[in-house]
Amino acid sequence: MSFSQMFDKEHTVAGAGFNRWLVPPAALAIHLCIGMAYGFSVFWLPLSRAIGVTNPLACAKDLGFFEELFATNCDWKISSLVVMFQLFFIFLGGAAAILGGWLERVGPRKAGVVSALCWCGGLVVSALGIYLHQIILMWLGAGVIGGIGLGLGYISPVSTLIKWFPDRRGMATGMAIMGFGGGAMVGAPLADWLMRHFATPTSVGVWETFLTMAAIYFVFMMAGAFAYRIPANGWKPAGWTAPPAQVNNAMITNQHVHVSKAWRTPQFWLIWAVLCLNVTAGIGILGMASPLLQEVFGGHLIGLDLGFNDLSVAQKAQIATIAAGFTGLLSLFNIGGRFFWASLSDHIGRKMTYFAFFVIGFLLYGAIPTIGKSDHLALFVLSFCIILSMYGGGFATVPAYLADMFGSQMVGAIHGRLLTAWATAGVLGPMVVNSIREYQLNSGVPKAQAYDVTMYVLAGMLALGFVCNLLVRPVDKRHFMTEEELAHERKLASDKAAAANVGSAVGTSDVAPISHPVLILLAWSAVGIPMAIGIWITLQKALILFK
């Protein structure tokens, strides 16, 4: 086998004795790396003084927009740096939608390798942009090239895990997508430590940090990509047969819809709307969590009966620290919710899980203004923690929802197209929350009450999501592939070798003599230890909220 053949899909088919529990750590290795996209805010302040080092060196006021972009003698504005964050999710959604079909044909290993090259290569290009002080290179590097890597890395394990875990689809995708939510918990403290390590009197240490993290991430992501295995066609877990409830459940199909037809069905667009509305409500709050808590509770956070505007600079610094703990707590529930809700969906169904999101979310958003006015801090925090758990749970549950509706053959490609809902929500959510807040403040509404209307609007969005979810029905039979079309698609997807191995691979996974327990322990430790450290650091910050 040549080097290039190592990346081919047919060479990733698992043989007899392979243990399926080695696949989730491979997915987590990639998702923990690309999930650092959520933690890039740790770089904004240092980059805003990349020239001045100790203090930002402002550009001349008469400098034009394009002149400022290419200026090398003054610092960037944070508003210009944040463009990179926006590019992440625009290109994530675009790459996932456009390259999803290609991923299904070439397999998760090749897609994982390309993801590693793009994400880590983008960091290298951005490091060059910082060194040369050219923000265009930063946007192109991490934003565009890295964003493509994010899209491929995000969807690379979806169809593979669903095929390995037909009995626990939600739990399997929840484990992987949990890693994306946890990437910032691991990466942000690492980045902070590296910047302090590399900082000198003439450098804030960011470009060196980018290069170091690119190298670390490349090793982890390549290890994850090469650890990917796909099951042979017809494989199923040892001793498992579809339970009667699944056989008779019209919401779970045993057939397959081609991606070219799936996105033309009403079911696709209803689930698109379900995801978009759930994410819009959550992401808008996630981006404003810190100022929201500070402005609603003000001095009550430190035992003073004062509004936010009446606090001194020192007092505002105190409550900002508490609000940072609040943000950390939300991130923990965001991550935990991805695993909890997705796993629960295996038992109660995907549609019922989304019903829970919308009903519980509607009630909580509607109650939050009253809870805020009554100064029930613990209940206020708990409400948002539950909301953010459902925000994360929505991401983790939707791949299994799609597999139930459209089959598993092309679920990765279909999921890729559905992620345009995320890109839409990423713009819509912050815009709704910020616009209503600004309007309220300009109308003279006190800061403590500026979010009340926002909560009611978001509750209304969830009510609309409830209706969309209610309208989801089984896919019409005319959309499913015939046996001939399915065989053709599998041939295009290089599944011939997988089909040839079916006799030796069926039912061997969970009793695998070849997959030694030590190997499984090492694989899970490689991703579990960094994640546990990140959770511990975040938990320590969150505990400040209760002191």
Helix (H, G, I), strand (E, B) or coil at 257: strand
Is residue 41 pLDDT above 90, yes or no? no
The Cα 513–Cα 274 span in angstroms is 43
Please give the pLDDT value at position 70.
83
Please give the pLDDT value at position 544.
75
* Dihedral-angle region of residue 371 (phi above 0 means left; psi in -120 to 50 means alpha; beta otherwise): alpha
**pLDDT band at 542; cut points 50, 70, 90:** confident
Neighbour count for residue 312 (Cβ, 10 Å): 10
pLDDT tens for residues 229-269? 998 877 888 877 765 544 446 678 888 999 999 999 999 99
**pLDDT band at 513; cut points 50, 70, 90:** very low
More confident residue, 321 or 273: 273
Is residue 359 pLDDT above 60, yes or no? yes
pLDDT tens for residues 97-108? 999 989 988 889
- Short-list 480, 459, 140, 528, CA closest to 284: 459
Please give the pLDDT value at position 495.
53
**pLDDT band at 503; cut points 50, 70, 90:** very low
Q: What is the mean pLDDT of residues 132-136?
A: 94
The count of residues in the chain is 547
Please give the pLDDT value at position 393.
95
The Cα 129–Cα 494 span in angstroms is 40
String of DSSP letters for 10-32: GGGB--TT--GGGHHHHHHHHHH
Q: What is the mean pLDDT of residues 62-73?
A: 80
Q: What is the mean pLDDT of residues 71-95?
A: 87
HSE-up of residue 302 (Cα within 13 Å, Cβ side): 19
Please give the pLDDT value at position 248.
47
Tokens of 393: 């749970």
Neighbour count for residue 142 (Cβ, 10 Å): 31
Please give the pLDDT value at position 404.
92
* Residue at token pair 């041939």: 491
Q: What is the mean pLDDT of residues 260-285?
A: 93
Q: What is the mean pLDDT of residues 158-175?
A: 89
Q: Which residue type sits at 305? A: D
Q: What is the mean pLDDT of residues 162-187?
A: 89
Q: Which residue type sits at 302? A: I
- Burial of residue 505, with CB atoms counted within 10 A of its CB: 0-12 exposed, 13-18 middle, 19 or more buried: buried
Tokens of 276: 């978009």
The answer to whether the beta carbons of residues 455 and 371 sit under 8 Å apart is no
The Cα 104–Cα 437 span in angstroms is 43
Is residue 64 pLDDT above 90, yes or no? no
The answer to whether the beta carbons of residues 162 and 403 sit under 8 Å apart is yes
Q: What is the pTM of this model?
A: 0.85
HSE-up of residue 274 (Cα within 13 Å, Cβ side): 32
Angle of the 517-542 helix axis to the 23-34 helix axis, nearest 10:
30
Q: What is the mean pLDDT of residues 291-295?
A: 83
Window from 130-139, 245-254, 284-293 with minimum mean pLDDT:
245-254
CA 323 to chain centre: 23
Is residue 409 pLDDT above 60, yes or no? yes
% of the chain beyond a pLDDT of 70: 93
% of the chain beyond a pLDDT of 90: 47
* Residue at token pair 């707590």: 329
Please give the pLDDT value at position 238.
81
Q: What is the mean pLDDT of residues 453-468?
A: 94
The Cα 41–Cα 332 span in angstroms is 17
More confident residue, 35 or 501: 35
Please give the pLDDT value at position 510.
39
Is residue 53 pLDDT above 90, yes or no? no
Q: What is the mean pLDDT of residues 184-208?
A: 92
Averaged confidence pLDDT in the chain: 87
Is residue 183 pLDDT above 50, yes or no? yes
Helix (H, G, I), strand (E, B) or coil at 268: helix
**pLDDT band at 499; cut points 50, 70, 90:** very low
The Cα 28–Cα 174 span in angstroms is 10
Neighbour count for residue 79 (Cβ, 10 Å): 9
Window from 20-29, 133-142, 334-343, 447-456 with minimum mean pLDDT:
447-456
Please give the pLDDT value at position 497.
45
